[in-house]
A and B are shown apart, each in its own frame.
Chain A
Amino acid sequence: MSEFKQTFNSSLGKKLIMALTGLFLCTFLIVHVGGNLLLFNNDNGFSFNVYANFLTHFPPIEVIAYLLYLSILVHALYGLILTVKNRKARPVGYAVATKSDASWSSKNMGLLGSILFLFIVIHMGDFWYRYHNDKNMGFKEYRTDLATGVTTVADYTPANAEFSHSVATENNVEIVRVKDLHTRVATSFSNIIYVLFYVIAMGAVAFHLLHGFQSAFRTLGWVHRKYTPIVYFIGTWLFAVIIPLAFAAMPVYYYYLSTQGAH
């Protein structure tokens, strides 16, 4: 067996792959939650639609996006391989379930990961796939009067099917025409079942990262009297509390808006 294969096929090598892809996905979450906070801007989706357009048309981000999809698949695949191997390591279980001190999340990473994988498939199918492939997704035209700063919004129908976006300034009015993902978000999150599914999935993110973030550092071999408490702090507060709460707030907020609009 080649040295390379030997390293990455070993138990520790597989764990290294899990840790590195996991941490990369963690950094992505920070970017994702930051950008999506634009959904809370009360501007008829202007900033959010421009941001979505930027993400899909800026080449470096597209490259990182493919690295991200690869990481999700590798992390899920290696998680599956390791879980199967771990099950095989104990073919006959105990009659009395173990009462050893270990956190609930650390013992249920496979279950939490499976929920997250299902979520990612549905989430990307609903937004990413539609954004790229749905010919029926509409466009919006935002006209900003540069003198007053007032923005008006209207539906826009492109003259040809190839149209993606445009920015122009006419008579001191900035005209931005972009694909309208914001309406898709608002429509999706007016469905209570969908909102509940998102909130549950964010709970899974919280528990997955409560264990996963600090566990990745242990796998990398970075345990230090001074720095490990900082890793625990970030893993708990940023990745298991703030980020999942911020994500979960989006569907809840849009559901609330939809009930207000109905009255």
Chain B
Amino acid sequence: MSNGNMNLTLKVWRQKNAQTAGKFVSYKAENISPDMSFLEMLDVVNESLTHKGDEPINFDHDCREGICGMCSLYINGHPHGPKRGVTTCQLHMRTFHDGETITIEPWRAEAFPIVKDLAVDRSAFDRIQQAGGYVSVNTGGVPDGNAIPIPKVIADEAFNSATCIGCGACVAACKNASAMLFVSAKITQLGLLPQGQPERYRRVQSMVAQMDEEGFGNCTNTGACEAECPKEIKLTNIARMNNDYFSAKLFRQEEIHEQNH
């Protein structure tokens, strides 16, 4: 598709590392096919920067299929760009129009320090997961697939929450840089299923404590996270997390799990 190709101006956040100050730099993205993904467009720009001997723009990416949660980018005021329910790698240039100026920023949060340019360190999410976002399973014979009956509605709800890819768009969209949509999705995914029951109340307490320690903000139920989530994780997860947390802390003394730090 040579005719109908686009010329764009990019305003990109460039920052050498976490210690130095960053700034916006403008680049021309010329002869861009509308069928390219946003990341392919950046690849083209980086190709020309490399040829000129400039440092290419650093951004996170991996599967480019919308399932790994590695890509990020805050594009024109939206995490993962203006389209609903897609990651940046699944965002196509036809979403933009010829001659447009596109501003690209990294996720902004104290808990997500910038590594370089548009790449941020999201290991805070890993530490929250490690605090309790798992089901402990002993080794042994493989249990029969259908040995534990799970109602369809419960399985569906758990699966909807399990589609969270941990990209951090919720934190990026939230005016408070709160991670509660992510944490509540992980808690719901395991807490609703029978396999996750034994650790349900310990899990919510450990994960919330770790979330607080990482320096994320506090949810004010604005719903920006739900609107921007590429996997359309629902705000109701946060209410469920609150419910589990208060159940554990206020109503189930046998479940209270004190943090040591």
Contacts and interface: CB of A to CB of B under 8 A. Distances in A.
A103 B222 contact: yes
Interface stretch (B36-44, B61-69, B223-231): B223-231
Contact of A1 (B111, B224, B239, B259): B259
Interface in B89-129: 103, 105, 108-111
Interface in B42-96: 74, 76-79, 82
B178 A223 contact: no
Interface residues of B, number: 53
Nearest to B75: A96
B238 A16 contact: no
Contacts of A90: 108-110, 175-177, 217
A220 B77 contact: no
Contacts of A86: 175-178, 217-218, 220
A221 B221 CA distance: 12
Residue among A14, A88, A89, A99 with most chain B CB within 10 A: A89
B212 A10 contact: yes
B208 A12 contact: yes
B236 A223 contact: yes
Interface stretch (B132-140, B141-149, B194-202, B245-253): B245-253
Interface in A58-84: 82
Contacts of B180: 11
Nearest to A99: B77
A92 B224 contact: no
Chain A interface category by residue count: 35 or more
Interface string B241-261: 111111001100000101100
A221 B218 contact: no
A93 B228 CA distance: 18
A99 B242 contact: no
A136 interface: no
B192 interface: no
B127 to A, nearest CB: 16
A92 B222 contact: no
Nearest to B260: A1
B182 interface: no
B110 A221 contact: no
A26 to B, nearest CB: 16
A91 B110 contact: yes
A109 B173 CA distance: 17
Contacts of A1: 258-259
Contact of A3 (B79, B82, B110, B256): B256
Given A3-B256, A10-B209, A100-B224, A85 B218 contact: yes
A7 B205 CA distance: 9
Nearest to A19: B242
12 contacts: A10-B212, A90-B109, A93-B108, A95-B24, A98-B175, A99-B78, A101-B223, A102-B223, A103-B222, A211-B221, A219-B239, A219-B242
Interface of A: 1, 3, 6-7, 10-16, 82, 85-86, 88-103, 106-107, 109, 211, 214-215, 218-223
Which 4 pairs of residues, A with B, have the shortest CB-CB distance? A221-B243, A89-B217, A86-B176, A100-B224
